[in-house]
Structure 1
Amino acid sequence: MFVITLSYLVDVEQIDEAMPAHREWVDAQYDDGIFLASGPRVPREGGVILAAGVPRPELEARLSLDPFMQKNLVAYDVVEFVARAVKPGLEALRA
């Protein structure tokens, strides 16, 4: 499982201009079963994504296709971890 943080490298106006293409890309990752949750950070300085189901190299290849990344609008930080304990009902996330 991965916790991915996005940090904006540009002002929010530039982010908002690219948001429709980014959301289309995000939706495709959900359709492929890779993303589990996503949303903006508070305060709005970037975003957070939870992902699973692919090896890290494939995840990184997918991240490189994000329009935010292709336009150099964000920096990604990827942390891989093993979910040993989960809330009841989320057992499918456990390694």
Structure 2
Amino acid sequence: MYVVYLSYSRPVEEVEALLELHVQWLDRYFDAGVFIAAGRKDPRTGGMVLVKDIDRDRLDTILAEDPFVAVANYEVTKVNVTRAAEAFAALREV
């Protein structure tokens, strides 16, 4: 699985202007079964997306489609989950 951290590189007003399109992008990949979870950082300096284990080139293509690419930087970390609380046991197989 991948953890993708977004850090805003532009003022929040510019981020807000793209929010609806960003949510549509998120919905598309949640519906496709690619995204596992997503949310805002607190304080609101960016966000995070958990992505199932897919080909890295495909992930890069998906991230390039995000409207937030104009207002955020992305940090991608691949994680091999080996332990999880029982409620999240399925993450070991994602």
Q: TM-score, normalised by structure 2?
A: 0.93
Provide the C-alpha distance between the structure 2 equivalents of 1:92 and 1:43, rounded to a whole number of angstroms: 29
Is 1:33 aligned with 2:33?
Answer: yes
Cα distance between partner residues in 2 of 1:11 and 1:75:
13
For residues 53 and 32 of structure 1, what CA distance do their matches in structure 2 show? 13
Contact 1:33 1:53 survives alignment (8 Å): no
Q: Secondary structure at the match of 2:76?
A: strand
Q: CA deviation at 1:90?
A: 2.3
**Aligned-residue offset at 1:53:** 3.7
Question: Contact 1:7 / 1:76 at 8 angstroms: preserved in 2?
Answer: yes
Q: Residue 56 of structure 2 aligns with which residue?
A: 56
In the alignment, what sits opposite 1:46?
Answer: 46
Structure 2 residue runs of 5 or longer lacking an equivalent are none
Matched residue of 1:54: which SS? coil
1:86 matched residue in structure 2 = 84
- Tell whether the 8 Å contact from 2:10 to 2:71 is kept in structure 1 after alignment: yes
* Cα distance in 2, alignment partners of residues 49 and 26 from structure 1: 9
Q: How many residue pairs get matched?
A: 93
CA distance in 1, matches of 2:52, 2:38: 12
| Unmatched segments (≥5 aa) in structure 1 | none
Deviation at 1:92, TM superposition (A): 2.0
SS of the residue aligned with 2:27? helix
* Aligned match of 1:73: 71
